[in-house]
A and B are shown apart, each in its own frame.
Chain A
Amino acid sequence: EIVLTQSPGTLSLSPGERATLSCRASQSVSSSYLAWYQQKPGQAPRLLIYGASSRATGIPDRFSGSASGTDFTLTISRLEPEDFAVYYCQQYGSSSWTFGQGTKVEFK
């Protein structure tokens, strides 16, 4: 089973700052099958990025994703107040999915 390790566990930032979230896979993951989700308290997750770098419908362009080997990155260029949440990466392979443990982006 592929393990996804997200870092840092918590990111303390202020509105307007840049957020860089990392997701590292324990073995090769097709970039086509790496997604990022945002979850706010009391809500279901929301798809942000699929295929490592494609924004889902309605997602602002301040969110971007990239890939390099087994390392994947979600970048929020300028944090808006509504972006403070928990972010999860997810991979699909061999008919199964796994999630990373999440990164919390909190107000500094």
Chain B
Amino acid sequence: EVQLVQSGAEVKKPGESLRISCKGSGYSFTSYWISWVRQMPGKGLEWMGRIDPTDSYTNYSPSFQGHVTISADKSISTAYLQWSSLKASDTAMYYCARHSYTSSWSIDYWGQGTLVTVSS
């Protein structure tokens, strides 16, 4: 069974750093791109960026370029999303998601989401 299991909810203060994770199982981790998607409270879905776990090639939405870093460790089938200095506006649910070439690069599996709360 394909699963993307994300790390648990986080509560952080502005200016702190954070890394959340997404562990893939039930499939060949290096065969599928992973994206991160933000959903702010009560709002829609925003694509942040994606990584190819094979070589860690990444590309980002212009809206998120320079604000977050996406990485992966293929030896443990895990992708990461990290911030060096959080802001209150980073408060959101973050989903990792797998793109499938067999469904025209749409997202066929999603993680359960990681809620990040940034508050002083």
Judged by a CB distance under 8 angstroms, whether A99 is at the interface is yes
A36 to chain B, nearest CB (A): 9
Measured CB to CB, the closest approach of chain B to A93, in angstroms, equals 10
B45 touches A102 (CB 8 A): yes
Number of interface residues of A (CB under 8 A): 26
Q: Judging by beta carbons under 8 Å apart, are A96 and B59 in contact? A: yes
Q: Does A16 belong to the interface (CB within 8 Å)?
A: no
Q: Does B27 contact A (CB under 8 A)?
A: no
Interface 9-mer from B7-15, B79-87, B99-107:
B99-107
Most chain A CB neighbours (cut-off 10 Å) among B59, B62, B103, B113? B103
| B44 / chain A contacts, CB cutoff of 8 Å | 86, 88, 99-102
Q: Residue B46 at the A interface, CB < 8 A?
A: yes
User: Chain B residues near A86 (CB, 8 Å)?
Assistant: 44
A90–B35 Cα distance when bound, in Å, is: 13
Q: Is A15 an interface residue (CB 8 A)?
A: no
A44 and B95 contact, CB distance less than 8 A: yes
Q: Is A95 an interface residue (CB 8 A)?
A: yes
Distance of B99 from chain A, by nearest CB (Å): 8
Cβ B47 vs Cβ A47 within 8 A:
no
**A interface, CB within 8 angstroms of B:** 1, 32-33, 35, 37, 39, 44-47, 50-51, 54, 56, 86, 88, 90, 92, 95-102
